[in-house]
Amino acid sequence: MKNFLSVKDVLPLKTALDLAKEVKANPYADQQLGKNKTLLMVFFNASLRTRLSTQKAAMNLGMNVIVLDINQGAWKLETERGVIMDGDKSEHILEAIPVMGSYCDMIGVRAFAGLKDRAYDYNEVILNQFIEYSGKPVFSMEAATRHPLQSFADLITIEEYKKTAKPKVLMTWAPHPNALPQAVPNSFAEWINATDYELVIAHPEGYELDPQFVQNAKVEYDVEKAYQGADFVYAKNWSVYAEKNYGQVINKDRKWTVDTRKMAMTNNAYFMHCLPVRRNMIVTDDVIEAPTSIVIPEAANRVVSAQMVIREILRTL
Ligand code: AN0
Ligand code: CP
């Protein structure tokens, strides 16, 4: 694996899941593989899990890790070519990226969607600049349109908890006060669509996701219908994808909040969320604290997904 940007980079999934299992069973088996190799993690946005789990994964593989928070202590970066740089940006990303590449063997990048210009976001401008100009393998730690390390951890978790071969997975939109990217739901749909599970995506009118991620999943606008018979309930907020009000919040209706009444309509479903989660907006205290809530093992599996990916990249160096 050279770069890790989407599910396409780890197909077939069966092999990816087997490698993940191997890493989980024996996390310190490859300490020599990463010796004298350096991972640089670049964050344009905040993080708790991605920061810690990816660093832990690299340490398990014997690597050195450098972390750069672009918004804390680094020069402000210009990302557009051709701009006369007489404003507050001290450095251009076109110098910064090759410089960063010269200090490491691979780069993890977190660069969320700006949610102002859909074409700019969906062209993955920042991520692609890292791929083009760093000279090093690049993996996504949530880019504008996908969060593949999260989706991979989600899939590993479902594989561990599922009680039937082809579980019914409900991904439901839930309310949030702020405008959030579509990366997590896009990516989750893309990964689940690569399995033979049944995927239902539920959301209010106006929250339709990009069809390239939805594919043949069933889209449900009736929140109660959506829960019926679900084996997993995966909650997430996202902002509008449609061009006309891209990136906006058009609904905060708490009838979409995951609660015990709706969970009772499921097949005793497990509750999942990528975290961070806003209690009593996305999910009630009762549901997230129930024994069927698997958000903590789901987050723990972020080490496993990151370690599988970094190990595969190390093997190509
Ligand atoms: C981010 C998002 O929705 O993409 C990160 C989730 C992993 N969430 C927030 O900004 C709250
Ligand atoms: N789930 C996830 O990526 O969390 P962080 O934003 O805290 O890294």
Q: Tell me which residue has tokens 């600049």.
A: 129
Q: Please choose from 275, 296, 303 the residue to mutate so as to test ligand 2's pocket, defined by most ligand atoms within 8 A of CB.
A: 275
Contact, 281 vs 175, CB < 8 A? Answer: yes
pTM, whole model, 2 decimals? Answer: 0.98
Looking at residue 250, what is its pLDDT? 98
For residue 196, count other CB atoms closer than 10 A to its CB: 9
Residue 47 CB–ligand 2 contact under 6 Å:
yes
Quick one: which of 278, 206, 179, 177 has its CA closest to 235?
278
Q: What is the pLDDT of residues 241-280, one digit of tens each?
A: 999 999 999 999 999 999 999 999 999 999 999 999 999 9
Query: With the C-alpha atoms ordered 40, 46, 51, 53, is the resulting torsion angle positive or negative?
Result: negative
What is the C-alpha separation between 212 and 3, in angstroms, rounded?
21
Task: Return the structure tokens found at 52.
Answer: 């810690």
Looking at residue 13, what is its pLDDT? 97
Q: What is the pLDDT of residues 46-66, one digit of tens each?
A: 999 999 999 999 999 999 999
Ligand 1: distance of its center to the CA of 231 in Å?
Answer: 24
Looking at residue 229, what is its pLDDT? 98
Looking at residue 156, what is its pLDDT? 98
Q: What is the pLDDT of residues 209-251, one digit of tens each?
A: 999 999 999 999 999 999 999 999 999 999 999 999 999 999 9
Which residues are within 8 A (CB) of 57 and not within 5 positions of it... i.e. 6 or more apart? Answer: 303, 304, 306, 307, 310
Task: Return the structure tokens found at 171.
Answer: 């991904």
Q: What is the pLDDT of residues 98-157, one digit of tens each?
A: 999 999 999 999 999 999 999 999 999 999 999 999 999 999 999 999 999 999 999 999
Q: Tell me which residue has tokens 């549901």.
A: 287
Give burial (CB, 10 Å; 0-12/13-18/19+) of 89: middle
What is the C-alpha separation between 231 and 136, in angstroms, rounded?
40
Residue 276 CB–ligand 1 contact under 6 Å:
yes
The DSSP string of 14-33 is: HHHHHHHHHHHH-TTTTTTT
- Nearest Cα residue to atom 10 of ligand 1: 180
Half-sphere exposure of 108 (CA within 13 A, CB side): 30
**What integer best gives the mean pLDDT of the chain?**
98
Helix (H, G, I), strand (E, B) or coil at 276: coil
Task: Return the structure tokens found at 121.
Answer: 């976001």
The DSSP string of 138-168 is: EEESS-SS--HHHHHHHHHHHHHH-SSSS-E
Q: What is the pLDDT of residues 70-107, one digit of tens each?
A: 999 899 999 989 999 999 999 999 999 999 999 999 99
Q: What is the pLDDT of residues 24-52, one digit of tens each?
A: 999 999 999 999 999 999 999 999 999 99
- Nearest Cα residue to atom 4 of ligand 1: 181
- Nearest Cα residue to atom 3 of ligand 1: 180
What is the C-alpha separation between 298 and 300, in angstroms, rounded?
5
Helix (H, G, I), strand (E, B) or coil at 279: strand
The DSSP string of 59-70 is: HHTT-EEEEEET
Ligand 2: distance of its center to the CA of 82 in Å?
Answer: 33
Looking at residue 36, what is its pLDDT? 98
Residue 40 CB–ligand 1 contact under 6 Å:
no
